[in-house]
Amino acid sequence: MTYVVTEDCIACKHMDCVEVCPVDCFYEGENMLVIHPDECIDCGVCEPECPIDAIQSDSAPGMAPWIELNRKFARLWPNISEKGQPPGNAKAMEGRPDKLRDLFSELPGEGT
């Protein structure tokens, strides 16, 4: 079992979760974070830190596509271990539908 980052993170990317992760398993894209499912130790400390509930257990219904997305981009994006600044419009992006289709970027973030 592991945790995965879901669509709610896209264009919000608050990063509160990053600093509490004991194994630094977060990876940064241009407008989203992902968790490397092979590095996550299932401690769960990141889940309550996310102010928009974008982190879910991989055992929740409908998580299979998100597990694969997290796995794919964790291999491509840089590791992040320090909290950065969320986008200026993060609050406005919370709860917006269809973010994967309309807003997701495959570009890497800066990492730390």
Average pLDDT over residues 75-86: 95
Average pLDDT over residues 92-98: 95
Q: CA 55, CA 67: separation in Å to the nearest integer?
A: 11
Q: Which structural domains are found in the chain, ordered by start?
A: 3-82 (3.30.70.20)
Q: Which of 54, 13, 49 is nearest to 31 (CA)?
A: 13
Q: CA 40, CA 98: separation in Å to the nearest integer?
A: 27
Per the structure block, which two tokens stand in for 94? 């919370």
Judged on CB neighbours under 10 Å (0-12, 13-18, 19+), 110 is: exposed
Beta bridge partners of 3: 57
Residue 16's pLDDT is 95
- pTM for the model stands at 0.95
Q: CA 72, CA 92: separation in Å to the nearest integer?
A: 27
| pLDDT at 1 exceeding the cut of 80 | no
Judged on CB neighbours under 10 Å (0-12, 13-18, 19+), 6 is: buried
